[in-house]
Every structure is written in C-alpha cells, then in structure tokens.
Structure 1
C-alpha cells in the first residue's frame, strides 16, 4: 500500500460522527431519536433558489465559470455587505468558493508556510484546525474559557505569538459555542496581528444568524482582514457547496492563480441559483427563518437552566448551546452516549472541539423544529430525574 503523508496522523477522528452513527443504528432499530447534534439547518433552499437552479440548468448555464466566480454573484455578495452589515466591500475582493471549507483551504494554502503556527481558540470547529494541518501548518489552540466568551483576545495574541506564528483564525459567531467576538475585541486582535505582519482570518458563516444587537462584519476593520462566509447556514444551502472569501486587494491575483489551478471554479449551477438569494422577497424569508432560530434559542436557554444544565456564556448567534454537564457526569462523551441510548436525544461531546475542559461540555444544536426541542427537554428532564 502507498505510504500516507504524516499529516494524516495529526488529523483527529470526528467524534460527533461516531455519536451520529450510533443514533442512526438506533433509528434503524425503530427508536425515535431527536437530533441536537449536526450543525445543519432543518430549513432547505427557498423556492426561488430552486427555480433559479432549474432555469440555469435548462438554459445550459452549467459550463465552467471564472475561477473567482461569476461577476453578478460577486457583486450581489458585495451589495449584501452594504445593505445588511453596513460594510463597504469592493466586488473585486470577493472570491466565490466551493463552500466555506473550500474558502478556508484556499486561504491556508495561500498564506501558511509549512510548519507555521496559526492561533485559534480552544474550543473551535475541528475542520478549521484540520484544514490548517492539511495545508502544512500547525494549529495552536489557546484555551479560551467562559471569561473570554470561549474566544481569542488581544492578550492571547500578545502572549502566544512567536516567530513561527503566521496569523489567527477566529469564528464569530462560533461553532460550537454560538458566541461572538465583541467588535472592540476583534478590532484589538486585528491590530495586534497587523503589528506583527500576520493575517487575521474571520470565519463569519453564522454572522447572518445573529440575534442580539447589531450584526457587524469584520469587513469594517480594514481591507487586510480576510473573511470566510457561506451559503450553507443563513441561506440554508448546505449541500450546494458554495461559499466565498473577501481578501485584501493585493492578494486577489495570487488567490485567483491558486483557484484556477486547484479548483478551476465553484459549481456553475449553484452560483447562478444563489443569485436568487439576494432579492428583497428572498431576504424576507431568510429573516423570518432567523427569527425561528432565535425563538428556539429563547425557549431552550431557560429550559436548560431549569434542568440544571449550565450554559456559562449566553449564545448570541448560530444555532448551538455549549453546556457544561460536569454537574451530572465527569466525561461528556459518556454522558452523550447515555443521553442518546437512554433518552433518545443526540448531542455532541466537547472532545471534537479541543482539549481545554472538553470533558465538561456538550454542544446542543437547535437546528430542528420547536416541537421536537420541547420533546427533547422533556426527555432530558426524565433522564436527569428532574421532570
């Protein structure tokens, strides 16, 4: 057999998938399982997008596009920043990608030399750190607890930056915690990184699903901040594999060269269909759905409190609650397994998201309808003996 690259050994298994696999086996055996596990909206693409896909396919618009994406979509994305986030982004800085993962892969390939470190909070979304590893870099996870809103701070950058550090990656709002980096803190982080000639990359795939206060993009921090976003979460197009980058103007040619050679182009049909996301009528639907997610969060937080499931930091975005279950178990993976088998509720142990206190936490996703979440809380109450 061919010898695998050593980087493969540095990429951890996705433990959430093991729990989901167990859930699938239970369902196949006839058990009713409530999924509060995978981060995929229960909403799907809106009718206007599906109609646009059909029209594009029937008219033969399925051939290669420009490597950076079709101009109309790049302009629509730039306009979205202006109207929704009060941020001015030149369309020439927008690069359409094969999902947010594709965006992050392009960015890491362009920015990280082999062996360089990238600072990230612990906990963090596992794919983000593994993409850094796949690009030859070394993710350096910085323990970031409730006092930090589970996020990096400027102090973290000052304390942990070394000559081997290339930059930082933060997600706001975050998976798994649903917490955002406060705008002033994010500005301080960017300033510290800028002073060290590094890169600041902000994963904003859940920015559209923010609930408390203004939704503010890191685009306002300057043209040197790199943004990653996606059509998967706010626009509910997970399987369409479409995302985008916003990069500094001087880096666009390098990113284009890389995209031309590595990706060729994102899905042409998905791009043409995604144009339908930006009409006023479509945006009204997405905002209504955002309200549904907020309603679910606002139901769950007091329910968790009543059940004695601690939520150290109130989530202000995405569709996750990061709960400290240490009052009920010493190992969150064991707790998740018992919760699944005894209560029929599937949640994700903190083991996937880092090393710092991972045994204490479970991530609960509320990307499922409210009636099922109500049933889940009743089941958990019975499980904990507090119904």
Structure 2
C-alpha cells in the first residue's frame, strides 16, 4: 500500500463478510436474478408511519439545529418513562444518554471504560463489531462463557447481548443476576446490549437494569424492535457517576445525535405505534417457526427449541456437506439465489461450519428460500 500506511490497529479490524454478500446479491438482482434475502439483520418493515410523520413535522418546523450532546431532554425523559411503563423501573433521565445508534452508545461506553491492554470478555459467536470496538481502544476482546466470566483472571469486565446476534439466545434474569453480582464483587463492569429487547417470543422482555446501577451499562436502540434502522438513534443507561465523562466523549466524537431522528423517536412510544410493533413481533415469531421447521427438515443442526429472541437462526451445516460456511453461503447465493451470512463473521468458536439466517422477509419468500435450499442440497457439495 502507498504512503501513508494504515494504523497498526487496522490489522485487527476484519471486514464484515455479510456486507460483501449483500453487495453481490444486489449486483445479481441488478442483472435480473431473483434473490431471497436472509443475510442482513434489518427488519423489512418500514419505520412506523407516526415516526416518519414526526420527523417530517420537525423538519417543517425547522428543528434542524444541534441538540445537547446527551440528546433532547424530552427524549431522555421518554426513554426513562419507557422503563417505568414496561418494567416498573424508576430510571433518572439524567442517566439516559441518546446516541447515534447503538454503535455510538458502544463507542462512548467502551471509550470511557477501556484502557490499552484491558481484557474484555465477549460472547463467541457474537456481533463482530463489539470485538472490533474493543480493539479500536487498545483493549483485548476475549471469548468467554458468560457463566464463567467471574472465574476468568485478568478481565476488566464483560460485554454480552441478550437476545443475542447471531444465535437469538436469551440469558435468563437469574443467570444475569448471578453474573452481575459476581462481577460487581470483583469491581468488574458489565455491559449488556439489549438492542433486540422487545423481539422476544415465549417470554416477556426483560432488562438488566432491574439488577442495580453500580458497574452496569445497558445499551439499546430504536433500530430493531422499533424498526427505525436508518434513523440511527440509540441510547445507553449508565451509572450516574459516568454521565459526565461520557458526555465529554460524546461532545468530542459526535457533538450531538441526529436531531430529526430524535424528534422521530419521540413518537415511537405512542400507544398506536407500540400496538403496531407488537403485531410485527407476532409476524416475526411466525416466520421464525416456519424457517426453524424447514431448516430442521433439511438437516441443519439447530437447538432443540427455536431461539427465544431477535430474528436470526444460527445453524450448523448438514453433516453430509463437505464445505465450510463461507463456501456454502457463496454457492447458495450464486447457484440458488438465496443470501445468508457465514458463521465466520461472528467469531472463532466453531463458527466455520455454521451459517446465520435472518427471518426478515415474508413467509412466502422464506418458503421459496427453503425450496431453493432443498434443491441445492440434493445436488450435494
């Protein structure tokens, strides 16, 4: 590469393979191919109409200036009120930090917490950007079973997601409580990514905030359950003592979250919007059940029961296939017109023989995808 050379830290930032698959799928579509999309973790539903209307109204009023670095006071209060309404919690709005998406929240929290050389436990398989953000701040991301995190020497803290990407796994309230108490006793922090909160199926949504405040950082977003991916607005709830240092970092990194997106997000808590989001959750559940049954019938390795949250199925390849997940995903796209994500995007813990399916498309398209999968598998690898 020509001068100047990239920073050495860039060697630890791997490409997100799913984006290359998406780009190839779009190129095939542009050439006239029909592609069943089950690769990208984005709801196929548009943002709720009331949310879009709120953004348009804010634009018409000329509300396009910077907001405070921590977000609109009204939105911080609305988020705190959401925790009261849904979980019976009394959260001080001063602890709520509005951010440019959940990724912005993670950047701020990790930037405030992680020193060079710190070792941070993460799930494996897990969302790849988490380990890359840790690396960006000079930390070391270590694959750790959450149930054993407190036993691991040298950890500064643990970061986990529930529901999780790519597995859809839920960490029960009791497991999370044991982990939090053990980490807190050792003065280690816990970051809980709850961006799929609300997209749970057999059990009601939960939040780690019921556990306490000290050493606990909770991340959330308007992208997944609320269906506002392109608005890029999320939030963090942090201990009171951490608000000021995170505000300083926010002022320097982002200046402020997107203004129109914040005004739009205020409408996300309106009762008619929440009713629509509940209907969508039920649609996701029906899709999950159809895809789970279809993949099991085709010989993919799956847990005994469908995962309890998010909108993914993380599946082991059928035993008779003599190829890895990356090769299979590429072949499935090129030969059958079905786009999925290789498990290697999500870590190193037995990921090479896994793939992720996102049930973010309608049931008839899922059925088409299953039919195409069946034809490809009948030909072997």
2:346 matched to 1:353? Answer: yes
1:334-379 alpha-carbon deviations (Å, 9 max, x no partner):
1111111221111100111001111111000001111111111111
- Alpha-carbon deviations, 1:225-247, whole Å to 9, x = none? 11000111111111111000000
Counterpart of 1:146 in structure 2 is none
Question: Any idea what SS the aligned residue of 1:359 has?
Answer: coil
Tell me the alpha carbon deviations over residues 249-279 of structure 1, each in whole angstroms, 9 at most, x when there is no partner. Answer: 1111111121122211101111011111111
Q: Distance in 2 between matches of 1:89 and 1:261?
A: 26
Q: 1:237 aligns with which of 228, 239, 246?
A: 228
305, 320, 327: which one aligns with 2:312: 320
In structure 2, the residue corresponding to 1:385 is in which secondary structure? helix
Deviation at 1:21, TM superposition (A): 2.5
1:267 maps to 2:269: no
The structural deviation recorded for 1:329 is 3.5
Confirm or deny: 8 A CA contact 2:221 2:233 kept in the other structure. yes
Aligned pairs for 1:202-217 (under 5 A) are: 202-217=192-207
TM-superposed CA distance for 1:326, in Å, is: 4.7
Asked if structure 1 preserves the Cα contact closer than 8 Å seen for 2:146 and 2:160, the reply is: no
Return the offset for 1:85.
Answer: 2.9
For 1:169 and 1:274, locate their aligned partners in 2 and report how far apart those are by CA, in whole Å: 26
Q: 285, 289, 306: which one pairs with 1:294?
A: 285
Per-residue deviation at 1:29?
Answer: 2.0
Q: Does 1:369 align with 2:375?
A: no
Q: Work out whether residues 23 and 33 of structure 1, in 8 Å CA contact, stay in contact via their aligned partners in 2.
A: yes
Calculate the TM-score normalised by the size of structure 1: 0.94
Q: Residues 65-144 of structure 1 correspond to what in structure 2 (within 5 A)?
A: 65-142=67-144
Secondary structure in structure 2 of the residue aligned to 1:298? helix
Rounded Cα–Cα distance in structure 2 between residues aligned with 1:17 and 1:65: 32
CA distance in 1: counterparts of 2:150 and 2:191, whole angstroms: 17
Cα deviation for residue 22 of structure 1 reads 2.4
User: How many pairs are equivalent?
Assistant: 374
Q: Do 2:150 and 2:179's aligned partners in 1 also have CA atoms closer than 8 Å?
A: no
Structure-2-length-normalised TM-score: 0.95
8 A Cα contact 1:124 1:175, kept in partner: yes
CA–CA separation in structure 1 for the residues paired with 2:287 and 2:61 = 40
CA distance in 2, matches of 1:158, 1:259: 30
1:183 has 2:176 as partner: no
The Cα offsets for residues 169-196 of structure 1, whole Å up to 9 and x where unpaired, read as: 0000011111111111111111121122
Counterpart-to-counterpart distance in 1, 2:318 and 2:187: 41
Alignment of 1:332-343 (within 5 A): 332-343=325-336
Match for residue 212 of structure 2? 222
Unaligned segments of structure 2, at least 5 residues: none
Tell me, what secondary structure is at the counterpart of 1:257? helix
CA contact (8 A) 1:226 1:248 kept: yes
Question: Do the aligned partners of 1:87 and 1:217 also contact (CA within 8 Å) in 2?
Answer: no
**DSSP 3-state at the match of 2:123:** strand
RMSD: 1.4
Do structure 1's residue 282 and structure 2's residue 273 form an aligned pair?
yes
